Amino acid sequence: MSRLQEAFAVAKAEGRALLIGYMPAGFPGIGDDVAIIEAMVAGGVDVVEVGLPYSDPLMDGPTIQEAVEIALAAGTHTDDVLRTVAGVARTGAPTLVMSYWNPLERYGVERFAADLAEAGGVGVITPDLTPEESGPWIAATDAAGVDRVFLVAPSSTDERIATVTAASSGFVYAASTMGVTGARTSVGTAARGLVERTRACTTLPVAVGVGVSTGAQAAEIAQYADGVIVGAAFVRPVLEAASTAEAAAAVTRLAGELARGVRGG
């Protein structure tokens, strides 16, 4: 059992869902990112997604795009992402990287998997990599001992879900709605059915993301999913904060609300 799967098992034993929080590396500045993420963990985030900034983030909505642009303008590179992972991993929270495929391919697939493991990272979410094209990635991650996380969506057929889950390890990311990331007033009604269809194909945990922003939404999802993923809702208060300290306080408060939600679900 991997460290990521162990985290899900601990949450299940406690009768709750896991809380997964996202923040781009290099945001709001190189060196400030670890302090922000540490505040998220202190507030109740169980697992961290560190975003690898990329110039063409097709899945990301305007909030995360703005944060990524700030990180890129600051000169954030893949080496900085790995340093962020190492800093966050020291908190004890299992730490993933969320990355589009192009930066990983340019860095070197085997090299990235090995360097991530050395930094203390436990896995990678690749939203635009398909299982059919993932042969070298599967080999590299298996060799390095890091988990692969692929995505399913409400539009995925049962056959497609079976293909995606067979290539996954760690957990399966279920996108609650079609479209880009971003906080929404409600979570897509198709999410519950998607989780059920995914569980029919795998014993891996299933975590739901895209659009989650409140403790009430987290509690709703926690009733049927193994994990709740929150991204843009954590990024927004950092964009709006006047200082790193103010941003850290804001994400701590939000993490606390969401953590109460997954425990209440």
- Give the Cα separation of 61 and 58 in Å (integer): 8
- Give the Cα separation of 24 and 139 in Å (integer): 26
Residues 55/87, Cβ–Cβ less than 8 Å: no
49 is catalytic: yes
Angle at 114 between CA 108 and CA 115, to 5 degrees: 85
Catalytic residue among 38, 46, 60, 80: 60
Interstrand relation of 147-149 and 151-152 (parallel, antiparallel or unpaired): unpaired
Query: Measuring CA to CA, which residue among 231, 130, 140 is closest to residue 184?
Result: 231
69 is catalytic: no
Phi, psi torsion values for 252, nearest 5 degrees: -65, -45
The tokens describing 198, both together, are 């995914």
Catalytic residue among 33, 38, 46, 49: 49
**Which residues form the catalytic set?**
49, 60
